[in-house]
Each structure stands twice: as C-alpha cells, then as structure tokens.
Structure 1
Amino acid sequence: MFAPQNRIHFPTMGSHRNGFKKESYILSVDVGTTSIRCHVYDKEAKIRGSCSTKVVLLYPEVGHVEMDPDDLWKGFISVVKGAVQDAGIQMHQVEALGISTQRGTFTTWDRRTGVPFHNFISWQDQRAADLVKSWNRSCTMKAIHGAMKVLYFVTRQKRLLAASLVVFSTQHVTFRLVWVLTHYTQVHEAIDEGNCCFGTIDSWLLFKLTKGGFALFSLMCWSGFLSSLVSLPLSIFPKMADQQAAMFGECCFDVGDVKITMGTGTFMDINTGSKPHTSVAGLYPLVGWKIGSEVVYLAEGNAADTGTAIKWAQKLELFSDVRETSAMAYSVSDSDGVCFVPSFSGLQAPLNDPKACASLMGLKPSTTKSHLVRAILESVAFRNKQLYETMLRETRIPITKIRVDGGVSSNDFVMQLTSDLFGKKISRPQHHEMSCLGAAFVAGLEVGFWRTREELKKLQSADDEFSPQCADKECTGSPNGEYVPILQSWERALRRSMNWYNKP
C-alpha cells in the first residue's frame, strides 16, 4: 500500500458559524497504491470517521503500471465525503486537510483545462528500463563519473564519491517522464505552447482542488543542469515540496529514528537531521519535512514488492485470508529449503537491478503451502535486513528507535523475524495507517490545532513490541545461527534472479 509519499495540507473554512464554536477536526487522505483512505481526527488524534475505496491498477503492456486520473479523483472525493459523513460532522468543522500520496507516480496535464494527457504512470512502472540502462552506460555518464572520481581524489568529499557512482533507476521519475515526452505527441505540443503541467498525485489533486491555483508553496528549486542534461523543460515543473508523512506520523523526530513502512513495497527511512545523506549504495536523500526555517532530511531505501508478493500468493490460493499466513509460517520449522525472491519490479538498494525476476527456488515433492508461505514471508524480512545493514553501513548513525507500520506489519512472523535479524527491538503502533496520521499531524501543527511535536508524541497509542529472540541470548545485530545458512541460500537465489530480463 504505501509508496514513497508527498505530504501537503491547506486550511479549510474553520469551525465558527453563527458566533458559536463547534468542536473542530483534521481531515487526512492517503492515496496509496492499492487504496485511498480518509480519516477524521479529533484533538486526541483518535479516528472519528473513516472511508476507503480501492485503486484499480492498469497493466496495458508488460512492465507498464498505470492509474486512471478520473477514477482517482472520483475516489478522492468519495472518501472525503464518506469520512465526514461517517464522523457525523459538518465540513465547516474541519480545520485543515492533509494529503499523503505516492511520491513517484505522475502524470502531465493541460494547464488551461486540467485534463490529463495520459494515465498516471506508477512508481512501479518499468517502461523506461531500457532507457535507464542506455543512459547508465552512456559516454555522458562515464564522463561525469570520471570527473567526479578525479574531484573526489583531490578533495576527499563523500558527495563527490557518490556522484562518481550514481546511476539512474526506473523508480526515478526522470526517465519515465523522458519516455512520455518521446512517445506522446500531445505532451510535446503542449510544452511548445507553454501549456503543459507535470506533477505527482498531490500536485494534480491540488490543481483540481484549487482550480489551477496550486503553486501554494515552494521549498527548493529544480536542478537546471540535470533537467537540461536529459532534455526536460523546467516550465512544466510545479513549485512543490516532497515530504514523508508516515515518518512524521510515527513521531520519528530525532536523528537516528528509523521508520519502516511495509505495504505494497517496503520503505525504510532514517532521520539524518539537518544534512542530506550522500549515498553510494542506492539510498535516497529526501526532505522529510520543513516547519518554519527547520528542514529535516531522511535517507530512504526501499523494496518494491512486499505486499505485491503476498497478494500474488493469495491469488494462487496458497491461503484464503492474509491473517492465516503468520500461523502457517509458524506451523513448519523451516521453508524446506525453498527460497523466494520478491522482485516483480526488479531489485532496489543495495542491488539496484531493474532486470531481476521474481522466483521460487528449491522446490521439492515434500514442499507444502506452508513452506511456500514461510519462504515468502522470510523474503520480506531478509530484504528488511539488507536495507537495514545498508543504512547502518552508509549513514553510520546510531539507531535510536525502530517503528514499523503498514498493512504487512500486522504479520507477527515477519515482525519477529525482522527483530531477530536486526538484533533490535522494534515497535508496531496499534493503528498501522501512519501516512494519514502524519499528514494530519503536519496540517494540524500548521493551523494551530496541535501546538508542538512533544504534544504529538503524547498522543501516540500503546505499541506492540517485538524483541530479538537470539539463540545465544546475545543479540548483536547478526542473525542467530539457524538463519545463517538460510540467508546464504536466499542470497544465492537473489544472484541467480538478477539480470534475468536482459536482452541477449
């Protein structure tokens, strides 16, 4: 469910009418990959009303993943009205609206009419894979890498080392947008006429909600150099800011706080404080949030197919109810040597291979459904460990706390195994929808509904906690003995799944 997110908000008309003050609320919407959810929050951050609807993903060609803009807009309006009605309140009692959306899903539209030129292209989409590969092997990239290596040798600045290793991926919007400009004539014509807008889901929703007056705030500027390098016109870009709603909802306000959202994909973020992280292994430096003059940065790693793999297994009728999977995994002592590679959308950091395939290896006549389910759930925890180790190695920031949310976090087997592999205690909130809550928190702070971040911390509900159960009773962050050979087998399966879709 949760993809990388943007967080936006704007105040509504307030709660005063006819001289009387009624109780006020914050409305928050999360536009996820598989559903749109809206919650109404009161002063205690309790949910007073809710509504949700499914998002229909479209697969027009192999590797293409899209969403219909009209359906998305209708779904957005539907859940807002439904949540307000469910809460039994009036719209004028809503102080502010927060919106959390997928950061890498975008469309382009007519600046005058607001009509999209094409469907939303999802963050999971692979249509630009060949273009990305071509650019990463180009003379231009080789020249950039060479120049940066020389500069790093002279200055020893880590950001120059990162620049000497940087490569594009299909999850970056850049080359999916380049693909659009080269394949959709009407987009190119609109750019020539100065009539084309580009934006992620939040930008487009703001455009619709404000009837075109969506450039409400600006945090940073777009890179003219990089835009010109790949021939993207600056005129189409909005003045918007990327923000991480779930991180704020988990109250991960301090340096070293880690948030893991496990939904459609897994997104692991660490608070790096006032400086962006320079990565050489594929972590993303992100703006977490900006409140007043303070800017907080995050470093993020992700695995694209966490919930996707579990839904795929359900479609194959390995189980009927997702809630059965934890018990099924615990019903067998191991996976019977089966390894699952969760890479329907390629492999992300630290392997960064968009041509990797999903695979099941090690099948035997003795393999049962429970063994398969355990192998799939183990793969989720194994990818968590890969991301966690990359984060530790790259940032060198001591981890202060780890909080986990998202639909897959309700699986106790995944949570416990993740804790064992990390050698760390991890906490799971009672309510898993942190993106909605984070967007509500930031919107509420902006309009004075809540006053301070310390106040927000006090509103957190009690957590479920998972502590490592290490065989030697000394948890050091290394897997206990029984999982060392299993991890080694799984890593061999990973290597055999890589570069599968490369053309001969």
Structure 2
Amino acid sequence: MTGGPVLAVDQGTSGTKALVLCPERGVIGSGTAPVRPRYLPGGLVEVDPRELYDSVVAAGRAALAEAGTPVGAVGLANQGETVLAWDPRSGEPLTDALVWQDRRAADVCAGLDPHAERLRRLTGLPVDPYFAAPKMAWIRRHATGAGVVTTSDSWLVHRLTGAFVTDASTAGRTGLLDLDTVSWSETALDLYGLGGERLPRVVDGDTPVGTTTAFGPPLPLTGLLVDQQAALLAQSADDPSAVKCTYGTGAFLLAQTGTEPRRTVSGLVSCVAWRLGGRVTHCLDGQVYTVASAVRWLTDLGVIAGAEQLDSVGGSVPDSGGVTFVPAFAGLAAPWWRGDVRGSLTGLGLDTGPGQLVRALCEGIAAQVVELAAAAATERGASASALRVDGGLTRSALLMQTQADLLQLPVEVSASPDATALGVGAAAALGHDPGLSLREAVPGWKPSAVYEPRITGDEAAARLARFRAEVAALVERAGDADGAGAAG
C-alpha cells in the first residue's frame, strides 16, 4: 500500500474491528468493539442497530488513539445482507436489524418459487432468506411501511455522513441488483413487493461519499465494500486466479471471474466483487452459515471453554472416532441451498468424548468448504493451486490442517486475520488518492503459515464420502418432512 494512513473499519456480525493502515509500517493502530446479536427461536437473529453504529465509532476511535497519527480517509466494510428500516429524516431506526443469518423470510421466499429461476438469472442470486431482499420484503409486510428499508451499510453511512448510498458489491447482495447493468432492477423490486421503494444510490467502492466527525477530526469516507468481497480484494489483487476463504461467524469462499457476469450451474452465487474507478469485477461466492457460531455452540455446551481450546482438545485424540458432524444449525447454504435442513451428529458411542466432537466439527466445516472449492473449480474450468484463508478461526492449526487434508491442496494463512479491513482500507486509499493503482493500494500477499495435506487422497475421499452421505440423508429427511406437512 502506498499513500497516507487510512482508517479501515470492518463492521461484522459479532463485533467491529478497526485498523489504522500505514503504507510504510502496516497496521499502526487497532480497536475492537463487541456486537451481541440475539439468537431467538425459529431461526431468528437480530441486533439493535444502535449497537452496530456505537461499535463502529468505538472501534474507530480506539484505533486512531492507538495509532496517534492523523489519517487521510476512512473505509467501511459491512455485513452485506443485514437489513433494517429507518427514518431518513432523523436517522433513527424503525426496526431492529435482521442479521444475515436470520431465516424469518422463508415464507416470502416460498411464495416466489415460480419466479426463482427468473430472479436468479436477473440478479445472480437464489431466492433465499440469507439475502437482503426477502428480509426487506418481510419488514414491509410484518413490521413497518414507514421510512426506508436498506442494508445496514446505508444506515451507517447516513449516520456518519448524511449520504444515502450503498456500494455496488453490497447492492449485489440484496437480490435486487441487475447483474448485467449493475443498477436496481424494477422487475426484481416488483416481484419482491418492493416497487416504489426509495433505494440508496449505487456508487463505486472508491467513491468519496461525505465527511464524518464521528471519530474526532473531520475525515472523508472514501471506501465502501461488503465484507467478503473486501477480503477477496486483499487476498487476490496480486493474483486474480486465487481462491480465498474467510473463517468467521460463517465461512465464505470467493473467487474472481473477471469483468463479465456469469450465470452459475453449480449452486454458487454469481455477484459483483467490486466496482472501482467505474470498472466492475465479478466473482463466485459460496457460504457455510455456521462456523464460529458452531464453535460457540460447543462452548455453550461446555465441551470446550472457547475457540482457543479447539487444538488442545481436538489434539488429545487421533481422529473423530467415526463421528460425523454436519453443523447445519442455520441450514445448508451453497451449493445445496436447503435452509430447511438442520444439523446432525451421528456415529456417537459411549467412548465419544470432547476430542472426537471437536475433530468432527472441524471435519464438518472443512468438508463444506471442499464442496464450495469444487464448485468454483467447475465454474472456472480449473482447480486452484492453493486456498488462501483469513479470519479468526485460522488461528486453529487443527482446523487449517483438516482443511488442507480434505481439500488435498495447500492452505495459505493470511499474515493478517483481518483481510476484510485491509481490503476496504485499500478502497479508501483509492478513493482518497485516485492516482493510486490497485496493486499499489493493496499490500502484497504474504502467508504467515502454509498447511500441506498429510493424508492420502483416498483417505480424504473416504472422509468426504461419509460427510456427503450424511448430508444426503438430511436433505432426504427434510424433503420427507415437507411432503408430510403438505399432505397433512
């Protein structure tokens, strides 16, 4: 990265991380602030929007205080599919924010079954409660018709600067953006029952959108990106053929596909990676809904004290002891798109202990990522030479080794777990200094560790076959339950 220092803020599901990024010295200041979503019965996940904003301000101020150096601009990354209704005059929230994991819009999606393929071709996205449009429609049907209903970034940016915008990568996560024109689709809006809504202006990720004093001195906000695409920018700017996966609350595998949109056949999502300087880059995107949240589930049960114990507890046994764990606590995302499926633990015996459960969870997470990587290889016509990874759970050597084993490829761990902040910091630098090139704005890729496969291809295939068989059984059972419900 060249240019002056910038403040990069990553507003995430369970917290906000802010970094002050200096071209010469790297990270010179950091700050964090927690966010506490409420996980409610029936697959509901919501959070107080004010908590999101307060966390942005607190983390940003802490990072600036630690750096002790003036910055030239701010970049803000967001959760992508989290939505709320708010009053554009006062800026006050009118609803809680429905978090991306929230499943309450399933009925909205079911009603759109006849139009699902048309919407997928138009927007690149399947009709699924994960995305923003179904949640927006749910709010309009069941919560309020007042104000505007948008993704969380538009509200945060409005609170910070008064602007009413969203960037192209975030707009591409709604299910309302025309994949070919990168503009709002009247057809999609009408199908979702959102025709006539006032929507934010779609801007490039490196557009100066206003000035904020929330962090102290007046600072221009010049970078906006959705979180996973920001991480992709940080991890593949030097190599557009690279495939990355971020391990956070969920796991998200993305790969660039070039300047032209494509329609996928594998179950992966096709969407805008970013629009910088008027130039659009597209990507493939696949998701695992529950990763760190599955680790938290084991923690809440008392199996482990926290993520920091994955390696010590899992390392106490040689294998999973025949246990298969499908951690589909919020359903299966790509490539299955079965939100009705729930998780399973099979193969339990009286000798099953915490170590086997931890190893089975790591295998269950890694196996889902393997499916995403295989789908990406099919779509792009070539396998990756390695998987580039970031996120808090990359600190688990057990999970990373399991990933390399099942993938049968090297897993390269980012030198910084905060690739999202690095990516949106690069966008902010580009917005602040249009003379910078992308390669100048993004730090070069330097893995801190590389995990090579330690098992044979045959062993990996056998473990994956057990996992796939269990997923197939879960999907079949969910289908039988749906049929029985319809018959009743």
* TM-score in terms of structure 1 length: 0.82
CA–CA distance in 1 between the matches of 2:453 and 2:255?
Answer: 20
CA–CA distance in 1 between the matches of 2:125 and 2:427?
Answer: 32
**Aligned AA (1:131):** V
CA–CA distance in 2 between the matches of 1:394 and 1:170?
Answer: 24
CA–CA distance in 2 between the matches of 1:447 and 1:233?
Answer: 35
Query: For structure 1, which segment, 108-117 or 286-295, has the greater mean C-alpha deviation from structure 2 after superposition?
Result: 286-295
**Aligned AA (1:405):** D
**Aligned AA (1:177):** M
**Aligned AA (2:411):** I
Q: 1:97 to 1:424 in 2, by over 3 A?
A: same
Is the contact made by 2:230 and 2:419 (CA closer than 8 Å) also made in structure 1?
yes
Q: 1:494 to 1:177 in 2, by over 3 A?
A: same
**Aligned AA (2:396):** N
Q: Deviations over 1:96-123 (max 9, x none)?
A: 1001111100111112111111011010
Partner residue in 2 for 1:204: 155
1:384 is paired with a residue whose SS is helix
Is the contact made by 2:7 and 2:18 (CA closer than 8 Å) also made in structure 1?
yes
Q: Deviations over 1:385-434 (max 9, x none)?
A: 11111111223245355310011112112212222322222211221011
Partner residue in 1 for 2:363: 378
CA–CA distance in 1 between the matches of 2:4 and 2:312?
Answer: 43
Computing the radius of gyration from Cα coordinates, the structure with the larger value is: 1
Is the contact made by 2:314 and 2:354 (CA closer than 8 Å) also made in structure 1?
no
Q: 1:326 to 1:406 in 2, by over 3 A?
A: same
Q: Return 5+ residue gaps in structure 2 as ranges.
A: 170-181, 204-224
Structure 1 residue 207: Cα displacement:
0.6
1:356 is paired with a residue whose SS is coil
Is the contact made by 2:385 and 2:410 (CA closer than 8 Å) also made in structure 1?
no
Structure 1 residue 62: Cα displacement:
2.3
**Aligned AA (1:231):** G
The number of residue pairs the alignment matches comes to 444
**Aligned AA (1:57):** P
Q: Deviations over 1:117-155 (max 9, x none)?
A: 10110100010123323322x4x558x59xxxxxxxxxx
Q: 1:274 to 1:69 in 2, by over 3 A?
A: same
Partner residue in 1 for 2:178: none
CA–CA distance in 1 between the matches of 2:462 and 2:280?
Answer: 43
CA–CA distance in 2 between the matches of 1:35 and 1:236?
Answer: 29
Partner residue in 2 for 1:5: none
Q: Return 5+ residue gaps in structure 1 as ranges.
A: 1-22, 146-158, 191-195, 472-479
Q: Percent identity among equivalent residues? A: 28
Partner residue in 1 for 2:211: none
1:67 aligns with 2:47: yes
Partner residue in 1 for 2:9: 29
CA RMSD across the alignment = 2.6
1:227 aligns with 2:212: no
Q: Where do residues 391-410 of structure 1 align in structure 2 (5 Å cutoff)?
A: 391-399=376-384, 401-410=386-395
* TM-score in terms of structure 2 length: 0.84
Structure 1 residue 167: Cα displacement:
4.5
Query: For structure 1, which segment, 301-310 or 127-136, has the greater mean C-alpha deviation from structure 2 after superposition?
Result: 127-136
CA–CA distance in 1 between the matches of 2:453 and 2:35?
Answer: 36
Structure 1 residue 449: Cα displacement:
8.9
Of 468, 474, 493, which residue of structure 1 is paired with 2:470?
Answer: 493
CA–CA distance in 2 between the matches of 1:171 and 1:255?
Answer: 27
Partner residue in 2 for 1:44: 24
1:94 aligns with 2:71: yes
Is the contact made by 1:165 and 1:280 (CA closer than 8 Å) also made in structure 2?
no
Partner residue in 1 for 2:249: 264
Query: For structure 1, which segment, 300-309 or 52-61, has the greater mean C-alpha deviation from structure 2 after superposition?
Result: 52-61
Partner residue in 2 for 1:317: 302
Partner residue in 2 for 1:281: 266
Query: For structure 1, which segment, 393-402 or 262-271, has the greater mean C-alpha deviation from structure 2 after superposition?
Result: 393-402
Q: Where do residues 434-453 of structure 1 align in structure 2 (5 Å cutoff)?
A: 434-448=419-433, 451-453=436-438
**Aligned AA (2:17):** R
1:124 aligns with 2:101: yes
Partner residue in 2 for 1:179: 138
Structure 1 residue 173: Cα displacement:
1.6
CA–CA distance in 1 between the matches of 2:142 and 2:419?
Answer: 37
Q: Where do residues 294-443 of structure 1 align in structure 2 (5 Å cutoff)?
A: 294-399=279-384, 401-443=386-428
